[in-house]
A and B are shown apart, each in its own frame.
Chain A
Amino acid sequence: MRAVKILAVILLALAPAGCWGSRETDEIAYVLALGFDKGPGDSVIVTFQIANPRVIAGLATGGGGAGGGGGGGSTVTSTSTVAALPIGAFYLLNTQHSREITLLQSTAFIFSEELARTGLHKYIAPLNRYRETRGTAFVFVCRGKAGEFIQKNRPELEISPSKQYELFSTVERVHAMTPVVQFREFYQNMKSLSGQAVAPLVALAEKDLARSRAPELGKLGDHVAGELPSSRGESQFLGTAVFRGDKMVGMLTGDETRYWNMITGKMARSFLIIEDPKSRGTPLGVELSQARQPAVKVKFDRDRPVIEVHLYQEPTIVGVSSGIDYESPGLKPVLEKHLADLIERRCLELVARTQEEFRSDIFGFGRYARMNFLTRKDWEMAKWHEIYPEARVDISVYLKIRRTGLMLNTQPVRY
């Protein structure tokens, strides 16, 4: 028993001594975001956005400059390097910095559109294997160079861009004009037989207000990132990159993405400006919110899939510029039908686009289709990705205006 006691004391003494892999926080450089661009030949240019602890500490104690690079220097620093694989670039980066680089706090992987169109598996797979990367990080596709986006993206409201990427997933619940995609989900869909991957589009604003056109009624945010007219050259998160396998095959605008979110049940809230059904050319604003998850059923008519989608929406009237009393029991159904028809039409147009143009089931209808099969072998033999473009898709929208904002009655303008 004496030997056991001695062994116990030795074990306890060893435990507080730490481990081989211990690293002090002031010896580490935290990578917040990684950008991937096409490099020479088959290589990749990886841009690392690294937190600058000196400036962040200054800001925390009130002694630093403004976030995003004020007088006290930027809270982040960026470095790009070329390698055959992303992790190789990561190791090369250690030769340029005094601190050991770690990906433990990385919250965003940003791939350039050019790279995404050539296929992402060779870049994603090593990241998935590496122990420091997390499945909860967000994936983006950048219109233009990802490295340039990382270098120029300086959110003025946040100390760190890392927080910007994380808050992006929260603010999406307000507009639904972009998908929120974590690394895990992207990787999974890339390899799935039942659905395909999407990723949010990001870009630096390239259009100024002077060149903007009058917005079309019935659509809101009908742009992709970078093309939304804005007075500032800020970063934009708008629209969707559509993938088939690991290759990007197209883009959805912010307006189309709203319907993608609606069909996949991911839309919490959104906003829409439609044409007033009783006053042509007059805008009418509604805030959309999902009443409950969509019901999707997939059957087979011989070998042809028949997909039924039931959408449940509860909009709120936000702005009626015509002054027509849509709160009244007689007119409310008119607005409801008009809105339901519009949503149904837009959803069908989007589905048709994914079938004819992209040939990619980005809605994951295959998840419901496989319920018709007993074994995996049967399901694989059905070749869902090949038959999805031939599927008949019926969409029904059940819509009820439950609330009318802070007005229960609209009186006309009198003069």
Chain B
Amino acid sequence: MKMVRTGKFGPAEAVVLLTLSSMARIFLTFPRFLVEIAGEAAWLSSLAGLAMVLFQVYVFLLLLRTHPQKNIVDITAEALGRVAGTAANIVYAAFFVAVAAMFTRTFSEALLVSALPRTPISVVSTGYVAMGVLGAYVGLEAMARSARVVYPFVVAGIAILLLALIPLWDYTQLFPPLGQGPLSILRGGLIAGAVVEVLLAAVIVQSFHDPDKFGTILSWAMLMGFGYMIALMLILVMTFGYNTAQELTLPFYQVSRLIYLGRYFQRVESIFIIIWGYIGMVKVVLTLYAAAVTFAGTFKLPDYRPLIWPLALIIFVASLLPGDMPAAERIEAVVLRYYAWFPAFVLPLAVLAAGRARNRRNRKNAGG
């Protein structure tokens, strides 16, 4: 049975789409958590995270290179066999659902804290999930092309916001340079390096016009995504200092509220909220789409779209499970980010090892 495809897009669109998706966390509580762990050296943790992600990309590249016409779902099923392969693919899909649920919740909470304090969270979450359903339905090509169009405005908006803070930058706040110490920097790197985008790209790789450029596309996306994160961590610490930065609920938003270039250029955080809303939508769309495609691939369904509605409902309900915002933050930052390494790295590594073992065995059998 042939799977329904939702169009293809070029490397530039793919890079932009994955970059925007990987940027989503920098608008939430994540930078605060990184500052708490690594102190003044939070930006070094981001750098360590980038190194780990690039290694992750390399492992996926090895995995996909051996199966040029397949995505990670097909490769896993083939390498691990029917039962283990199905189980592993369900873990991937569950990971996407968990990420979508957590981002729906944290983006909704962030919107409530900053702009819509009197709106019930269920209404805001419904908005995000509805946008996710809409985006997943229209497919990745439409999302990728819209991301390509919007990206320059996103970059310009972020650049204006951050550069307008130059008068508040104090480079001495970046000292002591190792912050909470080398071990804390590595711990921060482990958390920063736990991203969903590498696995996600391996799921949607068949939507790329040129799947062979998987490594290049993903490396660029990660370099850009982490580039923004490193810049923000530097600016956050230079503007607020360690003590205050680790108190902030939404560091990026709170940084944008400090812009004051005279009486006529202030209160520009509304620009930020528009960017924020768009990136939140991209994240929810991509993870919901990836979850639906993974499930459809696992159970050999011809169309992923009927799965969108039930998955959206699960995401919506799961997003409301944490009792409060600090609990949601802890689940996202502590639980999800640590355990993300299992579906996003350990499992694919096991698939790679199993695939190679199987090839070796096949070669030996053919030779013997």
Given the known A-B contacts A4-B138, A7-B133, are A131 and B117 also in contact in the complex, defined by CB atoms under 8 Å?
A: yes
Which single member of A191, A194, A376 contacts B179 (CB below 8 Å)?
A376
Pick from A180-188, A317-325, A407-415 the stretch touching chain B.
A180-188
**Smallest CB-CB separation from B172: which chain A residue?**
A367
Contact residues in A for B241 (Cβ distance below 8 Å): 188, 192
Structural contact, B176 and A378, CB atoms closer than 8 A = yes
Q: Does the CB pair A20–B119 fall under 8 Å? A: yes
A231 neighbours in B (Cβ, 8 Å): none
Interface membership of B364, Cβ < 8 A: no
Given contacts A20-B123, A21-B119, A377-B181, contact A188 B176 (CB under 8 A): no
Q: Is the CB of A376 within 8 A of B39?
A: yes
A contact residues, total (Cβ < 8 Å): 35
Asked if B257 and A191 sit within 8 Å, CB to CB, the answer is: no
B242 x A376 contact (CB < 8 A) = yes
The docked-state distance in angstroms from the alpha carbon of A11 to that of B126 is 10
Q: Select which of A136, A170, A191 is within 8 A of B243 by beta carbon.
A: A191
A370 lies within 8 A of B172 (CB): yes
* A135 pairs with B258, CB closer than 8 A: yes
Q: Which residue of B lies closest to A380 (CB)?
A: B176
- Residues of A near B260 (CB, < 8 A) are 136, 182
Contact B116 A371 (CB under 8 A): no
**Does B40 lie at the interface of the complex (its beta carbon under 8 Å from any beta carbon of A)?**
yes
Given A4-B134, A367-B172: A135 and B181 within 8 A (CB)? Answer: no
- Complex alpha-carbon distance, A320 and B262, angstroms: 36
Q: Tell me how far the C-beta of B66 lies from the nearest C-beta in chain A, rounded to whole angstroms.
A: 37
Determine which of B120, B130, B259 lies in contact with A20 in the assembled complex, contact meaning CB atoms within 8 Å: B120
Chain A residues whose C-beta falls within 8 Å of the C-beta of B115 in the assembled complex: 21
Task: Provide the residues of chain A in CB contact with B149, threshold 8 Å.
Answer: none
Kindly identify which residue among B40, B117, B254 contacts A376, using a CB–CB cutoff of 8 Å.
Answer: B40
Chain A nearest Cβ from B183, distance in angstroms: 10
Q: Which of B112-169 contact A (CB under 8 A)?
A: 113-120, 123, 127, 130-131, 133-134, 137-138, 168
Q: Is the CB of A11 within 8 A of B134?
A: yes
> Counting CB contacts under 8 A, is A234 at the interface?
no
- Residue A398 at the B interface, CB < 8 A? no
- Does B240 interact with chain A (Cβ within 8 Å)? yes
B278 to chain A, nearest CB (A): 14
Q: Is A359 an interface position by the 8 A CB rule?
A: no
**B175 proximal to A (CB < 8 A):** yes
Q: Are B137 and A1 in contact (CB under 8 A)?
A: yes
Structural contact, B181 and A375, CB atoms closer than 8 A: yes
Q: Is A8 engaged at the interface, CB distance under 8 Å to the other chain? A: yes
Which residues in chain B, 26-48, are within 8 Å of chain A measured between CB atoms? 39-40
Report the minimum CB–CB distance from B63 to chain A (whole Å): 34
Inter-chain CA distance A11–B172, complex, in Å, is 48
- Which residue of B39, B172, B259 contacts A371 across the interface (Cβ within 8 Å)? B172
B322 within 8 A of A: no
Map CB proximity to B onto A345-381 as digits: 1 under 8 Å, 0 otherwise.
0000000000000000000000110110111111100
Is there a chain B Cβ closer than 8 Å to A127's Cβ? Answer: no
Cα A54 to Cα B297 with chains together (Å): 66
Most buried by A among B134, B259, B260: B260
| Residue A291 is within 8 A (CB to CB) of chain B in the complex | no
In the assembled complex, the CB of A123 is this many whole angstroms from the nearest CB of chain B, namely 17
Given A135-B257, A188-B243, A373-B175 contact (CB < 8 Å):
yes
Q: Does B275 contact A (CB under 8 A)?
A: no
Take A20-B119, A135-B258 as given contacts and tell me if A374 and B176 are in contact as well, using a CB distance cutoff of 8 Å: yes
Distance between Cα atoms of A136 and B239 in the complex (Å): 13
B244 interface neighbour in A182, A191, A367, A379, Cβ under 8 Å? A191
**In this assembly, does B207 line the interface, its C-beta being within 8 Å of a C-beta of chain A?**
no
Among the listed B118, B134, B176, B259, which residue makes an inter-chain contact with A375, where contact means beta carbons less than 8 Å apart?
B176
Q: Whose C-beta in chain B lies nearest to the C-beta of A107? A: B263
Contact B172 A375 (CB under 8 A): no
A193 at the interface (CB under 8 A from B): yes
A134 at interface (Cβ–Cβ under 8 A)?
Answer: yes
- Are B258 and A184 neighbours in the complex by a CB distance under 8 Å? yes
A19 contacts chain B at the CB level, 8 A cutoff: yes
Q: A135-B257, A375-B178 are in contact. Are A188 and B240 (CB under 8 A)?
A: yes
B177 interface contact, C-beta 8 A: yes
Tell me the bound Cα distance from A338 to B190 in angstroms: 59
| A166 at the binding interface (Cβ < 8 Å) | yes
Contact in complex: A8, B134 (CB < 8 Å): yes
For B263, the chain A residues whose CB sits under 8 A away are 163, 166-167
Contact yes or no, A188 B244, CB < 8 A: yes
Contacting pair A11 B131 (CB below 8 A): yes
Bound: A11/B138 CA distance, A: 15
Q: A226 to chain B: closest CB distance in Å?
A: 27
Query: What chain B residues lie within 8 Å of A1 (beta carbons)?
Result: 137
Q: Are the C-beta atoms of B123 and A7 separated by less than 8 Å?
A: no
Contact: A136 with B266, CB < 8 Å?
yes
Most buried by B among A188, A192, A376: A376
Q: Is the CB of B134 within 8 A of A374?
A: no
| C-alpha spacing A7/B257, complex, angstroms | 34
Q: Would you give the shortest CB distance from B156 to chain A, in whole angstroms?
A: 23
A376 touches B258 (CB 8 A): no
| Shortest Cβ gap from B95 to chain A (Å) | 26
Quick one: which of B87-130 are within 8 Å of A by CB? 113-120, 123, 127, 130
Q: Give complex CA distance A20, B243 in Å.
A: 35
> Measured between alpha carbons, how far is A378 from B260 in the docked complex, in Å?
35
Bound-state CA distance A124–B243 (Å) is 15
Question: What's the minimum C-beta distance from A245 to chain B, rounded to whole angstroms?
Answer: 13
Known: A11-B127, A376-B39. A370 touches B266 (CB 8 A): no
CA distance A14 to B168 in the complex (A): 39
Instruction: Please tell me if the beta carbons of A131 and B114 are within 8 angstroms of each other in the complex.
Output: yes
The complex places the Cα of A1 from the Cα of B177 at a distance, in Å, of 54
CA distance A246 to B259 in the complex (A): 25
Give residues 184-213 of A contacting B (CB, 8 Å): 184, 187-188, 191-194
Measured between beta carbons, the chain B residues less than 8 angstroms from A131 are 113-114, 117
Across the interface, B116 reaches (CB within 8 A) one of A19, A167, A182, namely A19
Contact string against A for B residues 172-210, beta-carbon threshold 8 Å, 1 for contact and 0 otherwise: 110111111100000000000000000000000000000
Binary contact track A369-413/B, C-beta < 8 Å → 1, others 0 = 011011111110000000000000000000000000000000000
CA distance A170 to B264 in the complex (A): 13
22 A-B pairs (CB sep. < 8 Å): A4-B134, A4-B137, A7-B130, A11-B134, A19-B116, A19-B118, A20-B119, A21-B115, A21-B116, A21-B117, A184-B240, A184-B244, A188-B244, A191-B244, A194-B172, A371-B176, A373-B176, A374-B176, A374-B177, A375-B179, A376-B176, A378-B176
Beyond contacts A184-B168, A375-B180, A377-B181: 8 other A-B pairs, Cβ-Cβ < 8 A, are A7-B134, A21-B115, A21-B119, A134-B257, A135-B254, A136-B257, A376-B176, A376-B242
Task: List the 5 closest A-B pairs by CB distance, nearest first.
Answer: A21-B118, A367-B172, A20-B119, A136-B260, A20-B118
Q: Which residues of B contact A (CB under 8 A)?
A: 39-40, 113-120, 123, 127, 130-131, 133-134, 137-138, 168, 170, 172-173, 175-181, 240-244, 254, 257-260, 262-263, 266
